[in-house]
């Protein structure tokens, strides 16, 4: 690959080792397409299922699935070592999602290599993935979160009947089961009666060795992108989510026409929107997020705001919350992507030790 020295080289890392690799492909492709070519040279970096890094030609970036890409890597892409990344790029735009991408793993590697990157640092990224620890920290900060219990695989297999009784008596029905560390609603189940508990826990254990069991919240779901500006977190906007399914499923998130989204919100009162903005900023700060984040939650009929899913990154497909809220703030996709790159470089230039 020919390297130019007159522009900042932005390595867009996508694909990956998680269940969200196809989501990551859509994010990475869209970032690549919208990166300002007057300011940056785009370097598409595909992480395969084994963690290997490949520099892709455009014809592979445009492929429909990560499987399509993987089948052509050996003959049409360039495999590079992690140690050589610093010679190839000036900054990494992380478009990975899920385990090994959102959870501090790739962030730690980039820290060792001395390469600035978008998003939060190692610890905050790990907190953004762990649904149990993040809820405990948010609760400690006085932020509303659902009541929850963690059930381990060992505990479930040793005495499932006792676990079922405990959950029934603690929460009643419905309740929600989900993997501790997973994204895109994989393994999430709404349990409406005792007979469904086993199926819900088993579905979550496919993805992790611990299950978070939460009270069911009846309200309006929202999401807000928070952007760090000169060291201060600023919410771009609030989006109201109206999924067609019983909850915000994978298909609702990524399949066209499966979900309605309103930016600004359609059913949330204006004063409540301001409260939500305040709470998402508090959540961003409590978890130590940097650069940007996506904070999800519920607005209840009682007027309470609950934070349910703070994320240290965000999906960046064309129809994502990220670009919808950026547009509400007057920024094009190219504008907001450039902003993230600039913010990241500034943050990493000022840090002392790992971010």
Decide if 119 contacts 108 (C-beta within 8 A).
no
Q: What's the rounded Cα separation, in Å, for the pair 285 and 120?
A: 11
Q: Which of 215, 244, 268 is the last residue of a domain?
A: 215
Phi and psi angles of residue 235, each rounded to the nearest 5 degrees, phi first: -75, 130
Same domain, 140 and 275: yes
State the CATH number of the domain containing residue 85.
Answer: 3.40.50.20
Decide if 311 contacts 250 (C-beta within 8 A).
no
In order along its 355 residues, the chain shows pLDDT tens digits of: 444 467 999 999 999 999 999 999 999 999 999 999 999 999 999 999 999 999 999 999 999 999 999 999 999 999 999 999 999 999 999 999 999 999 999 999 999 999 999 999 999 999 999 999 999 999 999 999 999 999 999 999 999 999 999 999 999 999 999 999 987 678 899 999 999 999 999 999 999 999 999 999 999 999 999 999 999 999 999 999 987 766 555 454 545 566 789 999 999 999 999 999 999 999 999 999 999 999 999 999 999 999 999 999 999 999 888 999 999 999 999 999 999 999 999 999 999 999 9
Same domain, 14 and 155: no
Same domain, 45 and 68: yes
By C-alpha distance, which of 305, 272, 284, 271 is closest to 227?
Answer: 284
How much is the CA Rg of the chain, to the nearest whole Å? 20
- Within a domain: 1: no
Q: What's the rounded Cα separation, in Å, for the pair 234 and 172?
A: 38
Same domain, 171 and 87: no
Same domain, 139 and 250: yes
Is pTM, for the whole model, over 0.85? yes
**Containing structural domain, residue 159:** 148-215
Between helices 197-205 and 160-171, what is the axis angle to 10°?
Answer: 110
Sequence length of the chain is 355
Same domain, 58 and 70: yes
Number of domains, the chain: 3
End-to-end Cα separation, the chain, in angstroms: 30
Same domain, 89 and 21: yes
Q: What's the rounded Cα separation, in Å, for the pair 146 and 151?
A: 16
Same domain, 257 and 136: yes
Same domain, 170 and 134: no
Q: Is the bond preceding residue 97 a cis peptide, omega within 30 degrees?
A: no
Determine the pLDDT at residue 101: 95
Same domain, 21 and 154: no
Q: Which of 215, 240, 262 is the last residue of a domain?
A: 215
């Amino acid at each position: 690959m020919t390297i130019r020295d007159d522009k900042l080289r932005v390595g867009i890392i996508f694909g990956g080792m998680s269940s969200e690799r196809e989501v990551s492909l859509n994010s990475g492709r869209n970032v690549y397409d919208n990166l300002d070519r007057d300011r940056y040279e785009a370097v598409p970096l595909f992480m395969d299922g084994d963690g290997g890094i490949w520099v892709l030609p455009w014809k592979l970036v445009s492929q429909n699935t990560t499987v399509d890409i993987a089948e052509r890597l050996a003959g049409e892409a360039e495999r590079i070592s992690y140690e050589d990344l610093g010679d190839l790029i000036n900054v990494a735009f992380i478009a990975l999602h899920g385990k090994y991408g959102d959870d501090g793993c790739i962030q730690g590697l980039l820290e060792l290599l001395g390469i600035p990157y978008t998003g939060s640092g190692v610890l905050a990224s790990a907190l953004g993935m762990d649904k149990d620890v993040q809820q405990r920290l948010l609760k400690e900060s006085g932020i509303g979160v659902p009541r929850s219990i963690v059930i381990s695989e060992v505990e479930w297999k040793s005495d499932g009947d006792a676990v079922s009784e405990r959950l029934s008596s603690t929460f009643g029905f419905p309740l929600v089961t989900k993997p501790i560390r997973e994204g895109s609603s994989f393994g999430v189940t709404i349990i409406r009666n005792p007979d469904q508990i086993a199926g819900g826990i088993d579905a979550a254990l496919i993805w992790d060795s611990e299950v978070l069991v939460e009270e069911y919240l009846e309200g309006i779901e929202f999401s807000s992108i928070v952007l760090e500006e000169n060291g201060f977190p600023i919410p771009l906007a609030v989006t109201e989510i109206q999924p067609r399914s019983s909850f915000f499923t994978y298909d609702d998130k990524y399949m066209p026409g499966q979900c309605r989204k309103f930016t600004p919100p359609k059913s949330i009162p204006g004063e409540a929107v301001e409260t939500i903005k305040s709470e998402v900023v508090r959540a961003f700060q409590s978890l130590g997020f940097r650069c940007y984040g996506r904070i999800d939650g519920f607005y209840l009929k009682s007027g309470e705001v609950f934070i349910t899913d703070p994320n240290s990154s965000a999906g960046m497909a064309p129809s994502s919350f990220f670009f919808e809220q950026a547009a509400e703030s007057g920024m094009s996709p190219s504008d907001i992507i450039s902003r993230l790159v600039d913010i990241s470089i500034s943050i990493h230039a000022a840090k002392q030790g790992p971010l």
